[in-house]
Structure 1
Amino acid sequence: MIALLSAPSNLGLRPPRPTAVPGCAKAPEALRDAGLFTRFAELGARDAGVVLPGRYSDDASPGRLRNQDLIVEHARRLAGRITEIRTVGDVPLVIGGDCSLLIGAGLALRAAGRFGLVHLDGHTDFRHPGNSPACSSLAGEDLAAAIGRHWPAIADIDGLGPYFRAADVTHAGCRDEDEELAEVTQSVGLTIRASEILRDGAIHAGKRIRQHLDRTELDGYWLHVDVDVLDPSVMPAVDSPDQGGIEAAQLVDLLTELAPRASGAQVAVFDPDLDPDRRYARTLVEVLANGLGELGRAAAYGPPTERR
């Protein structure tokens, strides 16, 4: 059974303007209002509640992330809830929230075994202290942190880092001009740009990703979906929209290919403040219900095992 877990964190994003806070914390309830939870309930899913974050504060400083202590605390609690869901044999679908949620998922899965990661995102999110002096917002640095290329305070919580081995990671969906594209391509197991998906088709991309991750040494894989993988003509209600993204039908095809064998998934970065008439919330509900309705159906589940 799919278990929808709301995680309305905006802690990993920079403020959209002085004195304002990022609106993606409102996403779970905006999507609920647009019918997401009802659609998944019709598919047999359950509502697994919410993991609330602490109060947002624009407190970045040299060598320290914005909201760092709150992010770590939220990641631990999110990891605990994901573990509870998986322990009873259900499949977590985390509705965020920003991309910093990947750290909580990584903590849960790292404690349970060796899992791969499918990072579907319009950006590589690979800024880190080794390639930029501007580190401060984890939502643009989550993939780097997830494979251990960040400050230990965020990349090695409770001594569990790296949460995913770089060779077990696929990134798909970034634009050709992404600043960290070359480094990511050299670092992780597979990289597929949005332009390749547009050229070759989403089903082809999904099969490439599955071929990379369907390996006996892996206990499964986590599916990270940042909705800015979509083109702004389809989904402009994100904090950093960039031209050249994929279409809604292509994202559905990609998710349909990947979701059945996934160990769980998260959805991030939809911002209801940028969707005043709720049209994009309704679009996203259709994409997620059609693409993730079979989440975990072909994956094996059971109580997580503790191994390093």
Structure 2
Amino acid sequence: MIALVSAPTNLGLRPPEPGAVPGAAKAPEALREAGLFRWFTERLAIDAGVVLPGRYVDDDATRSPGVVRNEGAMVDHARRLADRVEAVLATGAAPLVIGGDCSVLLGAGLAMKRRGGVGLVHVDGHTDFRHPGNSDGCASVAGEDLAAAVGLHWPAVSDIDGAGPYFEPARTAHVGCRDDDAELAEVRTVVGAVVPTSEWRGRGTAAVVDALRTTAGAAGYWLQVDVDVLDPSVMPAVDSPDPGGCTPEELIELLRGLAPRAVGASVTVYDPDLDPNGTYARLLTEILTVSLGDLGSELR
């Protein structure tokens, strides 16, 4: 069984302009309107409710050094999301978290660590590996979530309740970044597997799925999917669209291969403010319903 959890947070994103609020918090309801929740619940999934975030604040002018945007509210949301994910897992269901931005990985990771730890497959158009050791510009966890998840960020976000790292680097795999990703060389030295989109195409999806599953481990893994892995020609409704991404068909094939062994999954960074007609919400609904219907089936 799958349990859908809404996590409408935008706390990890930079403001689209000074004083403005990112639109990613609207994603779960936009996808509900597009039919995502109805499709799953008609197939016996359950709606496990919503974990609301605190208020987004553009705190650039007042934030202290060594603190990320909306840090207190983000950590609070991560704890409450972890509680919800644990409650879902206790029923035997596989949680499908609909974000929101990539900071939901903190809550998912905290839940996984509380339960003894699993691997991580990180599907993203960027490595999201900015951290204090390689950048003076750390602020937005949505671009730093993988680094935080494997323990390389400030402890406030990478070691919540002393639980870091949430995922062991050797059991962490990334797929989908572009060849010019600023942190690509570094992340290759830290995590178990890194497959840029160009290499994914060269090796073929079946071989890449096998490699990712092997790295993340036979006991299961968390599956984090940032929809900016798609090329902006088909998915422009994200905060950082970069050319060179995958097609919907490629993403469907990848997720179909990964979903059955996933303990749970999170889907992030779709921005309804950039999709006023709902065109891309409908595309995402099509992709996710086709590819994630077997979430967790190999672990039941």
Q: Do structure 1's residue 231 and structure 2's residue 234 form an aligned pair?
A: no
Give the corresponding residue for 2:159.
156
Deviates more, 1:202-211 or 1:240-249: 202-211
Deviations 1:88-129 (A, max 9, x none): 111100000000000000100001012000000000000000
- Aligned-partner Cα distance in 1 for 2:217–2:151: 23
Residue pair 1:106, 1:164 contacting (<8 A) in 2 also: yes
Q: CA deviation at 1:18?
A: 1.6
Q: Secondary structure at the match of 2:266?
A: strand
* Code of the aligned partner of 1:37: F
Q: Do structure 1's residue 79 and structure 2's residue 107 form an aligned pair?
A: no
Q: Secondary structure at the match of 1:18?
A: coil
Structure 2 runs not aligned, ≥5 long: none
* Code of the aligned partner of 1:149: L
- Aligned-partner Cα distance in 2 for 1:214–1:83: 20
Deviations 1:19-56 (A, max 9, x none): 21100000000000000001111222111000000000
* Code of the aligned partner of 2:36: L
Q: Do structure 1's residue 7 and structure 2's residue 7 form an aligned pair?
A: yes
Q: CA deviation at 1:229?
A: 0.3
Residue pair 1:202, 1:251 contacting (<8 A) in 2 also: no
Give the corresponding residue for 2:16.
16
Percent identity among equivalent residues? Answer: 62
TM-score, with structure 1 as normaliser: 0.95
Deviates more, 1:193-202 or 1:284-293: 193-202
| TM alignment of 1:127-166, pairs within 5 A | 127-166=130-169
Give the corresponding residue for 1:117.
120
1:199 equivalent among 197, 202, 217: 202
- Aligned-partner Cα distance in 2 for 1:30–1:235: 15
- Aligned-partner Cα distance in 2 for 1:103–1:224: 11
Give the corresponding residue for 2:247.
247
Q: Secondary structure at the match of 1:182?
A: helix
Q: Do structure 1's residue 283 and structure 2's residue 283 form an aligned pair?
A: yes
Give the corresponding residue for 1:25.
25
- Aligned-partner Cα distance in 2 for 1:99–1:213: 19
Deviations 1:58-93 (A, max 9, x none): 124321000000000000000000000001111100
Give the corresponding residue for 2:179.
176
Residue pair 2:119, 2:217 contacting (<8 A) in 1 also: no
Residue pair 1:197, 1:246 contacting (<8 A) in 2 also: no
Deviates more, 1:194-203 or 1:290-299: 194-203
Q: Secondary structure at the match of 1:205?
A: helix
Aligned residues: 297
- Aligned-partner Cα distance in 2 for 1:129–1:181: 16
Q: Secondary structure at the match of 2:256?
A: helix
